[in-house]
Amino acid sequence: MPNRLPNKVAVISGGASGIGAATARLFAAEGACVIVADVQEPLDPQLASLIDASSDRIRFIKCDVSIEDDVAAAIEAAVTAFGKLDTVVACAGVAGMGAAGDITAEHWDRTFAINARGVFLFTKYAIPHMITAGGGSIINISSAFGIVAGPHFAAYAASKGAVRNFSKSTALDYIGQGIRSNSIHPGYIDTPIVQNIINNAADTDTAQAMFNALQPGGRGGVPEDIAWGCVYLASDESRFVTGAELVIDGGLLAR
Ligand X SMILES: NC(=O)c1ccc[n+]([C@@H]2O[C@H](COP(=O)([O-])OP(=O)(O)OC[C@H]3O[C@@H](n4cnc5c(N)ncnc54)[C@H](O)[C@@H]3O)[C@@H](O)[C@H]2O)c1
Residues that bind ligand X (CB under 6 A): 13-14, 16-20, 38-40, 63-66, 91-95, 114, 141, 143, 186, 188-189, 191-194
Q: For residues 62 and 239, which CB has a smaller minimum distance to ligand X in the complex?
A: 62
Q: For residues 123 and 143, which CB has a smaller minimum distance to ligand X in the complex?
A: 143
Angle in degrees, CA 9, 227, 206, rounded to 5: 145
Q: For residues 91 and 103, which CB has a smaller minimum distance to ligand X in the complex?
A: 91
Question: Phi-psi region for residue 84, left (φ > 0), alpha (ψ -120 to 50) or beta?
Answer: beta
Minimum separation from the CB atom of position 55 to ligand X (A): 19
Minimum separation from the CB atom of position 3 to ligand X (A): 25
Minimum separation from the CB atom of position 114 to ligand X (A): 4
Q: Count CB atoms within 10 A of the CB of residue 75.
A: 25
Minimum separation from the CB atom of position 144 to ligand X (A): 6
Minimum separation from the CB atom of position 30 to ligand X (A): 19
Q: For residues 93 and 133, which CB has a smaller minimum distance to ligand X in the complex?
A: 93
3-state secondary structure at position 247? strand
Q: Do 32 and 10 meet the contact criterion of CB atoms below 8 Å apart?
A: yes
From the list 125, 156, 174, 188, the catalytic residue is 156
Say which DSSP state 98 is in.
Answer: B
Q: For residues 40 and 200, which CB has a smaller minimum distance to ligand X in the complex?
A: 40
All residues at 6 or more sequence positions from 37 whose CB lies less than 8 Å from its CB, including other chains = 11, 12, 13, 14, 15, 60, 61, 62, 63, 65, 70, 71, 74, 77, 92
- Catalytic, 125? Answer no
Instruction: Report d(CA 89, CA 141) in Å as an integer.
Output: 7
The residues facing 141 across adjacent strands are 184
* Catalytic residue set: 156
